[in-house]
Structure 1
Amino acid sequence: RYKILAADLFDPNEFLEGKDACQLILDKIKLDKARYSCGLNKVFFKAGTLAILEEIREEKVNEIWTMITSRAFGKLQRKKYLKLWGSRAAVGTLQRNIRAWFRLRNDWWIKMYQALQPKLTGGMAEELLKETKIKFAVRFLLSYSYA
């Protein structure tokens, strides 16, 4: 019950006698030796000492519980932050793509691609693409006549 008061002193692979373990715990919490005495099989406490021991134990349990909950909440917050960061990166990608679209939406080759895209199904797609490229190139060159 009181092992958590001195958990760092106990090796899980090593066995300690009850009396030695009790003495280690009582030494670790620095309880006044006048308030207790160790018998062969029992520890005898003066009046009120057990209540003090319970308070110390309760403080330690609260400390451990606070640490566990803070780590759990920290993990949840990190998870939320990473999700938010991922959506922020997605927004950046969308913005970059929209800016590129606004930059390129009036270029002749984008217009050509948009005109051809619905027709690019089946085996004649490459042929149609080649013909349309030539038509657009001719139209583009004729629109910039140097006469």
Structure 2
Amino acid sequence: RYKVLAADLFDPNEFLEGREACQMILDKIKLEKARYSCGLNKVFFKAGTLAILEEIREEKVNEIYVKMQARVLGKLQRRKYMKLWGSRAAVGTLQRNIRAWFRLRNDWWIKMYQALQPKLTGGMAEELLKETKIKF
């Protein structure tokens, strides 16, 4: 329960006896030796000391929650920004193409191409139909 108070002292791959771990935590938070005594299986606190420990623990847990929340919110915001940046690039491409179209739409060769395009496509389609009819 109180491992949070001294999480940096513990190696997850290493086993520690309960008494040794308790002493490490109590040393880390710099609790006066007069306020507690270690038994074989328990730690005995003077009146009010446990409340102090709980308060310190709550502060630490809240700090961890705030950091975790900040990371998650930061990641979500970065994802939103990247999505916005991608759509912004797409808008830029569309604007560039529309500007090019407005520049070129009055050129004589574009008008000629537009006039000839349906005829070229239709003629090719008719030739393909004739070829397929001949094969069958």
* Same fold? TM cut 0.5: yes
Structure 2: segments with no counterpart, 5+ residues: 126-136
Moved over 2 A (4+): 116-125
Partner of 1:21: 21
What is the alpha-carbon distance in structure 1 between the residues aligned to residue 36 and residue 2 of structure 2? 15
What is the alpha-carbon distance in structure 1 between the residues aligned to residue 122 and residue 9 of structure 2? 77
What is the alpha-carbon distance in structure 1 between the residues aligned to residue 102 and residue 74 of structure 2? 42
3-state SS of 2:44 partner = strand
Q: TM-score, normalised by structure 1?
A: 0.80
Aligned length: 126
| 1:61-85: CA deviation from partner (whole Å, max 9, x where unpaired) | 1000001111111111111111111
Partner of 1:33: 33
Partner of 1:67: 67
Aligned-pair identity in percent equals 88
| 1:12-67: CA deviation from partner (whole Å, max 9, x where unpaired) | 11000000000011111111111111111111100000000000000011000001
What is the alpha-carbon distance in structure 2 between the residues aligned to residue 116 and residue 35 of structure 1? 97
RCO comparison, higher one (Cα < 8 Å, 6+): 2
Partner of 2:128: none
Q: TM-score, normalised by structure 2?
A: 0.86
Residues 122 and 102 (structure 1 numbering): CA distance in 2 closer, same or farther, change over 3 Å? closer
What is the alpha-carbon distance in structure 2 between the residues aligned to residue 24 and residue 123 of structure 1? 89
What is the alpha-carbon distance in structure 1 between the residues aligned to residue 117 and residue 27 of structure 2? 83
What is the alpha-carbon distance in structure 2 between the residues aligned to residue 123 and residue 114 of structure 1? 15
Matched, 1:2 2:13: no
Residues 35 and 114 (structure 1 numbering): CA distance in 2 closer, same or farther, change over 3 Å? same
3-state SS of 1:121 partner = helix
What is the alpha-carbon distance in structure 1 between the residues aligned to residue 95 and residue 14 of structure 2? 62
Structure 1: segments with no counterpart, 5+ residues: 126-147
Partner of 1:77: 77
What is the alpha-carbon distance in structure 1 between the residues aligned to residue 18 and residue 110 of structure 2? 84
3-state SS of 2:37 partner = strand
> Please, what is the CA RMSD of the aligned residues?
1.7
